[in-house]
Amino acid sequence: MANLSTHSSLQQIIITVTTIFLLSPSLPSASAVTETNRRPFEKIYAFGDSFTDTGNTASLTGPTGFVQVSNPPYGTTFFHHPTNRYSDGRLVIDFVAQALSLPFLPPYRKSKGNTASGVNFAVAGSTAINHDFFVKNNLSLDITPESIQTQMIWFNKYLQSQGCKGSESGPDCKEAFDDALFWVGEIGVNDYAYTLGSSVSDETIRKLAINSFTEFLQSLLKKGAKYVVVQALPATGCLPLAMTLAPSDDRDDIGCVKSVNNQSYTHNLVLQAKLSDLRKQFPQAVIVYADYWNAYRTVMKNPEKYGFKESFKACCGTGDPYNFDVFNTCGKPSVTACSNPSEYINWDGVHLTEAMYKAVANMFLNGNLSNPPFKTLLEKKQQKP
């Protein structure tokens, strides 16, 4: 495992940045010094799919293949009960919140007005492409109707509930956006998964998904988002689901499904190009690319360094060789979980363990797999009056 926790390492960065400003002659006033001692962000708005969803779905509303997220052993590691997170414990977004000294984000559907520190709009099963596309192509059998556009609709309704109506430069809108970090989790994996075996090409999905996602990001930036982190697609070819479905000769240098990892890699290349364009369109914003694909590969190449003993098998599941059966998934009465999830990368065949999410979050926040580094985002935030 890493020598420093995600929380403590980031706190050191925040303290270091604050110290720099305290010693800087460009900030001579007492009010400026007081400002640097505040938390870097007062709220987080999160978006994405099941890798980021902290409770917008439940067993009755989640993806058909994983309808037991409200049942044990989900949530067993940290919360000690199911929280409708698709893991044994915390997700990347939870570690981000803790590192920034903020509470866990309430899911939008269950926020009950408790949104002072932000809201999570991510929803499991969500796609980048609008749901209508899948309906028109007869691919809607196993998906939830939410997309990234749905999450934008929810966000707009939330803004209206905060008094942000009409002019986005008004005081109520300014309050909603000031001191806010926008964390956009991975989105697009489901788009490819839902078209598996159909006549719809990867190229079509990639083009439509990236275009839709870019429009979503543009909307956030036009509304006033200044600090945005965008997660890439992970190395999805390493998930037990992909390993189970793909032929055994379809493998890459780390033993994962080559065709699926190439799919995610190509998607991420196009995404990075779009983010580069957005940085030019919105020079006042800091847009960070969080490289989930390489973060996952980094762990897979040297799992022992991060405390993992099992790279491919799911902790919670059944069946050989990857402890995963698509028809008998985690949360069902007949399915059990391992006793040591912290030694597993994968939790239920598709989603990751808390330990893996923690390792990935640490790379994003304290490592070199964010571009520009998250430390740079914090520094620029601290420079703002």
Residues forming the active site: 50, 348, 351
In order, the DSSP letters of 204-226 are: HHHHHHHHHHHHHHHHHHHHT--
Longest Cα separation, the chain: 65
Q: How far apart are CA 258 and CA 252, in angstroms?
A: 5
- Residue 229's DSSP bridge partners are 183, 288
Spatial contact of 44 and 105, defined as CB atoms under 8 Å apart: yes
Cα end-to-end distance, the chain, whole Å: 38
Whose structure tokens read 């009960």? 81
- Residue 71's DSSP bridge partners are none
Residue among 290, 295, 297 nearest 261 (CA): 297
Name residues whose C-beta falls within 8 Å of residue 201's C-beta, 6 or more positions apart in sequence. none
